[in-house]
Every structure is written in structure tokens, then in C-alpha cells.
Structure 1
């Protein structure tokens, strides 16, 4: 029988304020740990007047929403981590914890600042992306090599090539931007020394971490999904087959290749393409998609995370066309949890989730023809229903909150004093 622990989770953001997948994973973990009887506290940065739900205690570092967006865009973590570290130090003076688990980059820096000044419990860091060793954040070099060798010149070139900003903005701000990213990366790499162990969200990320950082005690624990919220539900098969893309519209997501597949698909089948999400390239993508598919294209814009499950339930096929090495692919397991087959690219950690030909179809990145062929294959109702049913079973077995929480606890227990 496991001992009851006092656990502090630190997350840059936390539901209902959702910026990315890290805070969703932190929330699911808080729920899972609480259900197992552990005393869970969360320290997070949130806008003013935010309310929380869950059987755990939330401590907050408040800020104005406009400031949060500015800090997030800058990607320095410096200003944000200082206020977070003050909150963490105050909390540790008042409360005793058995373990600290930081979930993001600002959280990592705050632990580093506090550890320099006082003794803290064993600390675990979740590494969910490439920012600790890649100034561009996207890890584009990993497409060719498992090792990243960056310098300022390469950072400038990478930022110019892959940023979704306008050419004018790039020309005016590329050097300061690259300097900021490079200095941020160095500070983040330094913050890693404050931790006793590390959890990556895929074996792909673990391999990259071991190739690029001198770290021990690196474990893989996949992201979890709330299988009660993301369930099969009702929908699909009505008024044409619905193909869903749910995610950001920016460099690396490969939306243009999905759009390139539209003409071939609608030429053969009665399909509707539904796009959900926001981002710098949304308008550009919408114009491109309307030219490709006309009335067969629907753009829903940004949808709050608490409502995104319904879009998965109402569609028939989900496409994840990423061209950058996705560390994990949360949209993949959310779609699978809703009983939908996934067409996804063989990049990053995605092939660890999708069983090709069983729960979905894996394709090569940047290939509209392969996307079209895969969608046309899944138009067959019997095929896609069979895949979707198996996908749901896989998620229930491997990615539900209880299973993933148990694996995280195994890591904690290795370092308890």
C-alpha cells in the first residue's frame, strides 16, 4: 500500500486558464492524485478573478491578463519566474511537502531560484518540448539529427525561416528576438540542475533529452486524457463525413498539406472539412482552404478547451498533419478517446500513440497526396468504426488518468526521503 503524500504541483497556467497542454496534464494529475487519497496543492499563475474546481488546494500568483500574454510572447520566463519564485518560497516556509513537481518552464526557473536560497523537497520536472536546448522551441534540427547544435547565427536563421510573423516584423526584430531566445534557452538549461528527476511525455523526447543534455533519472510517462469528458458520445455520419483539424494555425502544424488534400477528397466523396483553433496563420489558412473546398470548408475559430470534446464527438475522422517533431500529440489521444480514427504524420512521439492500420493511419509529413489517400481509405464506414472502437479501448487501457497517475507516483517514490 502506498503512503499518503503531500504533493506540490507547480504549473505556469492552470484550468480554466488554458494556454497549452502542460496545464491540462497538471490538472489531470491533480485530479488523479487526489482520488488516490494524496494531499495535493497547486501553485500557479493566473489572471485576476479566476475560479478553480477540484478536490485540491490552489495557491495563486495573480497578474493582469494583458501582462500574462506579453510575458508568454517574450518567452524569457525571467519576470514571470521571479514572481512565481517569491510565491513558492513563501509557500514552502508555511507548508511541508514530500515532493515538488514542476510542469513548465516558468515553474522550472522558479524552483531554481528558490533552491539557491533554501532547502526544498525532492523535485521533479516534466520536460514536454525542446525549449531547454532549442532556442526556436520547435526542434526543427531533430528532423535530420537527434542532436541539436545551435548558436546565435543558427537561431537567427531558424527564427526567420519558421516564425509565422510577417516579413517586415522579422526583418525589424529578428536579431533581438534571436538574442532573447538564446539567452532564455541558456537560463532554462541552467534551471535543470535544480531537479532530482525528469519526466518526458514520450520516448522520442526522452531520447532527444539524453542526446542533448547531461541528465540522469529521465523517465517517460505519457500524457493522460480525461476519458469521462472525452468519450464516444453521439455524432458523425450526418450530412456528409466530417474531417476535423483541431489545433493551432502556425508554422509546423502542417495545415497547408491538409488543405492541399481537400480537392482530391471532395472530388470523390461527400466530405466536410472542419477547422478549429486560433493562431497567427488562421486567416491565411482560411483563405487557402476556401479556395480549395468552397462550401465544403468550415472554420470555427478558437474554441475553449472545455468545449473541444464535442467537436471530436461530432466528426468522423481527425487529421493531425504536423511537420515539426511533435513531442507527444495531445489531440491524437483526445480524438482516440472519442472513438475516432486518426490520420497522423510519422513525426516526433506520434508513432508511439497511433497503431498504424489499427487505431489510425500514419503517413509521411508534408504530403497532401498521402493525406488524401488516408482520408479516402477511412471514408469506408466499417473500417473507420472498427479503428475508432479499438482506439477508444487503447486509450482506456494506456492513457486514462488513473493509469498515468500511477506511473507518475512510481517516479515520485524513487526519490522520497
Structure 2
């Protein structure tokens, strides 16, 4: 079986959660019995290279907006290459229409991971768009959307990261598509340093991620007012809301680190007692949640989106946008951190290890080949 993965970016370019996930997928498939060849085609440069044994061909840069332009460029470049594969796997969303069109033209089946909402008006998924994005949604995207969705509809099977993502797309133009939920896999190379700190009465809370409204960090900041003085919070990450959040915070109990090197992020997991993911939108998944669980931390999340499907303890799912509810779940997590941390480490190994997740992708490929 030969798989060609199509993605806008591939590490080391812009290595966020989506890029980390597609790299993990490519490298795990490269080692998987039953997969003869894995090639990656990305649009973030003009070189061909091998990364950890995976051939990566970068077919020049494409703009992000309007979506018709990058999809037209990607379609033409991929069609000229004519990838030697049995199945296309589209990843990281922005080029899914091009892959659907290419699949129909070359008569090669395709699957596509759903891990974002680029063709949906962001306000409909509780994300506050920028002025530029809002203008685009009201003009060009409104005109582009029907054609782009019709091209996406040529994809044989969609692979949403969570049932929440599936429901969003079923209600936004792809109601009759074939879906199979396949979550992100954990990174088996992820490690945190050993803790050198003795246990004290203080409780260190941790948030890792981008700082924008939809991430709900302001409610976590407000939740600190409901928690005893021994609770402290470290916020790792940057974004447009950082200045507002810093102004809102009680400075002596909340530390905003900004963006830090990956090595320092792993240390932050080691130093923490409870991880908090306070989002207020249907986030597709949340890779930091897997990392926190691998690190043996209890995870408090909100009862919305993919995170609510990942966190197994109902007591740790708070009401979105509710600081008091967050504080209640945080106190429960702190009081039961050792037990819950052990549960989480076992859960991620049982449900999100590559040995569990990769066979689901392999089965999806076989299914579209058999149709």
C-alpha cells in the first residue's frame, strides 16, 4: 500500500499541533507493516528531503487566503507531479478541496483528517474572528464556500479527530459524507524530566497554548479568585490576548511565561500538579491534553469539543465560560491528583498509543481501496 500525505506545512515549518500530528502519522506509517511507501507533499518551500526516513517534497509556497487560490495552485502542482500512490491522505484542512478534486481527476481514493474549521464562519464555532477574517467571511468566502465544499465532497472518507468535529461538519455542508472518528496519537518520544521538588501544600496549575478568546484563559484567570491562596497558575504561551489577561490577573499568583522552548514546556509539566484546558469552543482535539496525561497530570477541561471526549473523569469537565465551575473541578483534581494522574497515564497508553491509532488509519485506507 502506497500513501501520499498532502499537507500545507510539514515540520520543521510552523511546527504547531497539526504539524506535530502529521509528522507523527507519516513516521509511524513509514514503520508500519502493510504500508509499503509513504510520501509527503507540502507547500512550504521548494526542496525535496528525507526526514526520519520519510520523503518530503515541498512544492513551493502558497498563500493562505482566499482559499480558492492555494487550492488551485496545489491542485495544478500535484496534478503535474501525479503522485505514485494508492490513497491520498489530506491533512491540516486548507488544501482538502484540492485533494478532493485531484482524487476525482486521477481516480485515486482519498481520506481527509478534519482538525480545524477553515470553511466555516468562526463565529458559528464560538471563535472571535479578526477584522480581516470577518471581512473575508462576509465577501469572498461566502462566494467560494459552495464550490470548495463540492470539491471536498469527492473525498471518500473524512477522519474527524472527535465526534464533536464530525457533528460540526455534518451541520455545515457535509451532512451525507462518510465519517470515521480517529483521534490524534500520543508522541511515544515525549518525555518529561524527573521532578526534584518535594510535595508541599501549594498547588501549581498549568495552561499551555495560544492566548485568544476561544481558549477561555480569561475564565481560568477569574477562577483563581475562587481558589485558596495556595493555588498558583503558570500560563505558557503567547497570543493577542496576553496583555489583557496579564492586566486581569492577580500578579502574585499567576505567571505568564510567554512562548518558551520545547524543553522548558516539558519542565513545566513536571513542575505542575494540575493541567487546565478551559476552552469555550468545539476544539477538535487538544494535543497538550495528551502531553499532560502522559506526564501523569490530572486534566481539567470544559465540557465542549474534543477535550470533553478525551478527559475521562466527569468531575473534571467544567461548564464552559464559568469560573466557579472551573474552580470546583480544579479543587477536585488537586485533591485526587495522584490517583487521577495514574489513571490518565494508563488511559493514553491504552487508547492513544500509535500501536492503537495507526491500525485505525490503515483500516480506513483499506476500506476506501475496497469500495
8 Å CA contact retained: 1:235, 1:313: no
CA–CA separation in structure 2 for the residues paired with 1:232 and 1:192: 43
Partner of residue 11, structure 2? 15
Measure how far apart 1:180 and its partner are. 3.3
Measure how far apart 1:109 and its partner are. 2.6
- Call closer, same or farther: CA 1:119–1:318 in 2, change over 3 Å: same
Which residues of structure 2 form unaligned runs of 5+?
Answer: none
* Superposed CA offset, 1:372-410 (max 9, x none): 222223333xx2011011101100010112211111111
- Of 351, 357, 363, 1:398 maps to 351
- Of 5, 26, 32, 1:30 maps to 26
CA–CA separation in structure 1 for the residues paired with 2:363 and 2:124: 30
CA–CA separation in structure 2 for the residues paired with 1:199 and 1:24: 17
CA–CA separation in structure 2 for the residues paired with 1:53 and 1:306: 21
- Call closer, same or farther: CA 1:332–1:377 in 2, change over 3 Å: same
CA–CA separation in structure 2 for the residues paired with 1:49 and 1:192: 28
Partner of residue 324, structure 2? 369
CA–CA separation in structure 1 for the residues paired with 2:12 and 2:165: 27
Measure how far apart 1:305 and its partner are. 5.5
Measure how far apart 1:353 and its partner are. 1.0
TM-score relative to the length of structure 2: 0.88
- Of 54, 57, 61, 2:52 maps to 54
CA–CA separation in structure 2 for the residues paired with 1:191 and 1:308: 40
CA–CA separation in structure 2 for the residues paired with 1:361 and 1:112: 39
Matched, 1:199 2:159: yes
- Of 97, 109, 117, 2:97 maps to 109
Measure how far apart 1:139 and its partner are. 1.9
SS of the residue corresponding to residue 11 of structure 2 reads coil
Measure how far apart 1:362 and its partner are. 1.0
Measure how far apart 1:19 and its partner are. 5.5
Which residues of structure 1 form unaligned runs of 5+?
Answer: 141-158
Measure how far apart 1:176 and its partner are. 4.9
8 Å CA contact retained: 2:6, 2:99: no
- Of 114, 136, 148, 1:127 maps to 114
8 Å CA contact retained: 2:161, 2:181: yes
8 Å CA contact retained: 1:130, 1:138: no
1:137-148 alignment runs, 5 A limit: 139-140=125-126
CA–CA separation in structure 2 for the residues paired with 1:176 and 1:46: 23
Partner of residue 301, structure 1? 258
Partner of residue 151, structure 1? none
CA–CA separation in structure 2 for the residues paired with 1:49 and 1:295: 49
Measure how far apart 1:55 and its partner are. 1.9
8 Å CA contact retained: 1:253, 1:321: yes
- Of 135, 151, 169, 1:209 maps to 169
8 Å CA contact retained: 1:227, 1:337: no
Partner of residue 258, structure 1? 220
Measure how far apart 1:322 and its partner are. 0.8
- Of 356, 362, 368, 2:313 maps to 356
Partner of residue 384, structure 1? 337
- Call closer, same or farther: CA 1:312–1:181 in 2, change over 3 Å: farther
Q: How many residues align?
A: 366
